[in-house]
């Protein structure tokens, strides 16, 4: 039996500059990356908001063609969320040049009736009060993962702590884990987060991979060293989408499945960074994904 994945988060137009070039107003947003990655393994129900007049039908067609249900993609009066960023030449840092929230500013997720029995859920980095509202609407949720960002840790900590206490998996990067816990050492930060409630936490370390901590285990997925990076935007979202999509597709959330899902997430993220925007995610075959999965797995296998 497979389950569908419910994804809530931003849908955006991204303008991105890297040493490899520039794209303007490309389809992006964390929920878009998550959905296009997850839909390689499971059906996806997307809840988000775009502007009623500026979001091209071709983007909707693309999402639908990849198995993403867009009944929860609201069209509101105003402009679609726009984000713009530039990467350092060595990709070690990114500067946000512009954020225009548009209709995302007053986003109030509405879950269509057919999604209310969702069992697998990925709460993207929206206001924690909205993450809580979504959780309250899903009585059957069996495995919920949440993402967040510095802004919410700094500005809405009590609500964010309530979210953390109610999810099964928190996915953060090392800077966010430090902000949330005050601990610079990754093991101590993970222990603090696990003490807040989740049964698992993943701490992402950019190109260096990701660590999974449960109460009694630690697992590491390295990032695949690539000859050429074009655009790292959405790599973390792609990783999380691949992982959660795999779990929903398998209808499983035991530790071994989470580990396999992390390898799939890493494989998908390695493709995502090799082109601008979501384009690399749209035409991958299952054979390509499986071959990268093997490459990632072999990175830490003595036998090869
Ligand atoms: P990542 O590279 O994983 O940080 O994700 C980049 C994606 O996040 C881009 O497609 C942006 O449109 C989206 N994004 C940027 N800022 C925000 C924000 N404040 N809230 C939600 N999504 C955002």
Tell me the pLDDT tens digit for each residue of 23-59. Answer: 999 999 999 999 999 999 999 999 999 999 999 999 9
CB 68 within 8 A of CB 46: yes
| Residue from 206, 235, 210 nearest 222 by CA | 210
Q: If you measure from the C-alpha of residue 99 to the centroid of ligand 1, how many angstroms do you get, rounded to a whole number?
A: 9
10 Cβ below 6 A of ligand 1: yes
281 domain-assigned: yes
12 Cβ below 6 A of ligand 1: yes
Q: If you measure from the C-alpha of residue 11 to the centroid of ligand 1, how many angstroms do you get, rounded to a whole number?
A: 9
**pTM: predicted TM-score of the whole model, two decimal places:** 0.97
- Spatial neighbors of 53 by CB under 8 A, at least 6 apart, are none
User: Which residue ranges of the chain lie beneath pLDDT 70?
Assistant: none
28 Cβ below 6 A of ligand 1: yes
| Residue from 1, 17, 64, 68 nearest 232 by CA | 17
304 domain-assigned: no
Which residue among 23, 29, 105, 202 is best mutated to probe the pocket of ligand 1, counting the most ligand atoms within 8 A of its Cβ?
29
At residue 210, the pLDDT reads: 98
56 domain-assigned: yes
At residue 252, the pLDDT reads: 98
The atom of ligand 1 lying closest to the CA of 151 is 19
293 domain-assigned: yes
Domain that holds residue 102: 5-298
At residue 51, the pLDDT reads: 98
The rounded Cα 43 to chain-centroid distance in angstroms is 16
168 domain-assigned: yes
| Residue from 152, 216, 153 nearest 182 by CA | 153
**Which tokens is 39 given?**
């839909």
Verify whether residue 237 is a known catalytic residue.
yes
At residue 303, the pLDDT reads: 86
Q: If you measure from the C-alpha of residue 45 to the centroid of ligand 1, how many angstroms do you get, rounded to a whole number?
A: 19
Atom 9 in ligand 1: residue holding the nearest Cα: 29
Cα(88)–Cα(83) distance, integer angstroms:
17
At residue 47, the pLDDT reads: 98
At residue 24, the pLDDT reads: 98
Q: Please name the residue ranges forming H helices in the chain.
A: 30-38, 57-65, 128-136, 150-155, 157-166, 174-181, 186-195, 235-250, 255-272, 279-282, 286-298
Q: If you measure from the C-alpha of residue 241 to the centroid of ligand 1, how many angstroms do you get, rounded to a whole number?
A: 14
29 domain-assigned: yes
Tell me, what DSSP letter sits at residue 253? -
At residue 1, the pLDDT reads: 85
At residue 86, the pLDDT reads: 98
96 domain-assigned: yes
303 domain-assigned: no
CATH of the domain at 245: 3.40.1190.20
Cα(120)–Cα(122) distance, integer angstroms:
7
Q: If you measure from the C-alpha of residue 96 to the centroid of ligand 1, how many angstroms do you get, rounded to a whole number?
A: 10
Selected catalytic residue, list 147, 237, 254, 294: 237
30 Cβ below 6 A of ligand 1: yes
- In degrees, to the nearest 5, what angle opens at C-alpha 183 toward C-alphas 85 and 201? 70
Atom 4 in ligand 1: residue holding the nearest Cα: 234
234 Cβ below 6 A of ligand 1: yes
Which residue among 7, 8, 11, 12 is best mutated to probe the pocket of ligand 1, counting the most ligand atoms within 8 A of its Cβ?
12
Q: Residue 4 in 3-state DSSP?
A: coil
| Structural domain count, the chain | 1
Quick: pLDDT tens for 266-300. Answer: 999 999 999 999 999 999 999 999 999 999 999 99
Centre a 10 Å sphere on the Cβ of residue 199 and count the other Cβ atoms it contains. Answer: 15
């Amino acid at each position: 039996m497979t389950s569908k994945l419910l994804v809530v988060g931003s849908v955006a137009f991204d303008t991105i500059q890297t040493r490899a070039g520039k794209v303007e107003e490309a389809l992006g947003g964390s929920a878009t990356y998550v959905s296009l990655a997850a839909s390689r393994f499971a059906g996806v129900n997307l809840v988000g908001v775009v502007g009623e007049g500026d979001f091209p039908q071709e983007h909707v067609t693309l999402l639908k063609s990849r198995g993403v249900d867009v009944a929860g993609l609201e069209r509101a009066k105003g402009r679609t969320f726009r984000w713009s960023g530039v990467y350092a030449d060595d990709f070690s840092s990114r500067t946000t040049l512009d954020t225009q929230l548009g209709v995302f500013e007053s986003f109030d997720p509405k879950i269509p009736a057919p999604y209310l029995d969702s069992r697998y859920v990925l709460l993207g980095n929206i206001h924690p009060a909205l993450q809580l509202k979504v959780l309250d609407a899903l009585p059957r949720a069996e495995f919920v993962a949440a993402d967040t960002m510095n802004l919410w840790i700094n500005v809405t900590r009590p609500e964010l702590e309530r979210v953390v206490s109610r999810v099964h998996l928190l996915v953060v990067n090392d800077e966010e884990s430090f902000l949330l816990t005050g601990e610079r050492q990754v093991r101590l930060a993970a222990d603090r987060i696990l003490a807040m409630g989740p049964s698992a936490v993943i701490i992402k370390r950019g190109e260096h991979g990701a660590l999974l901590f449960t109460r009694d285990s630690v697992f590491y997925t390295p990032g695949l060293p690539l000859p050429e990076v074009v655009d790292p935007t959405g790599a973390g979202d792609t990783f999380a989408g691949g992982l959660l999509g795999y779990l929903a597709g398998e209808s499983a959330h035991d530790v071994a499945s989470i580990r396999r899902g992390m390898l799939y997430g890493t494989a998908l993220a390695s493709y995502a960074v090799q082109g601008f925007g979501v384009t690399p995610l749209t035409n991958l075959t299952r054979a390509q994904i499986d071959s990268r999965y093997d490459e990632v797995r072999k990175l830490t296998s003595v036998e090869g």
